[in-house]
Amino acid sequence: NAGVIQTPRHKVTGKGQEATLWCEPISGHSAVFWYRQTIVQGLEFLTYFRNQAPIDDSGMPKERFSAQMPNQSHSTLKIQSTQPQDSAVYLCASSLDRLGPPQDTQYFGPGTRLLVL
């Protein structure tokens, strides 16, 4: 079984450009999560979807960031007008359900390393 797939693995953008990050969850998993990891802030929750519906986006910056899950096989995180402080590793995870472990266990993709110059 393939794990969570994230593309691209690395992305370099210029300040002000748009960046779109892709995540393909493990087949059969109903929950998808996005996290951001930086040296300064550590791991931060951004948003999560359950059965493609947005459930909790409390960690998403209010401006420039948006996430979608148009079908059960992929989710996207879009950053408009990227800024240097958006540079981070963006991690996507999926899990079977929210009924508690082990179903609740999140499995992570390799991450997308975003660098905004």
The closest of 23, 40, 49 to 111, measured between CA atoms, is 23
What type of residue is 112? T
SS3 10: strand
Shortest Å distance, C-beta 73 to another protein: 21
For residues 114 and 23, give the distance between their C-alpha atoms in angstroms, rounded to a whole number. Answer: 14
User: C-beta of 111: minimal distance to another protein in Å?
Assistant: 5
Bridge partners, 90 (sequence order)? 36, 112
Instruction: Lay out the site mask for another protein across 19-58 (x = CB under 8 A, - = otherwise).
Output: --------------x-x------xxxx--x------xx-x
Give me the least distance between CB of 11 and another protein, in Å please: 14
Select from 29, 68, 87, 89 the one that contacts another protein (CB under 8 A).
89
- Which C-beta is closer to another protein: that of 3 or that of 16? 3
**34: helix, strand or coil:** strand
Candidates 19-27, 67-75, 77-85, 104-112: pick the segment binding another protein (CB under 8 A). Answer: 104-112
SS3 of residue 7 by DSSP? strand
- Interaction of residue 59 with another protein, rule CB under 8 A: yes
* Minimal distance, residue 110 CB to another protein, in Å: 5
- Residue entry with tokens 């179903």: 103
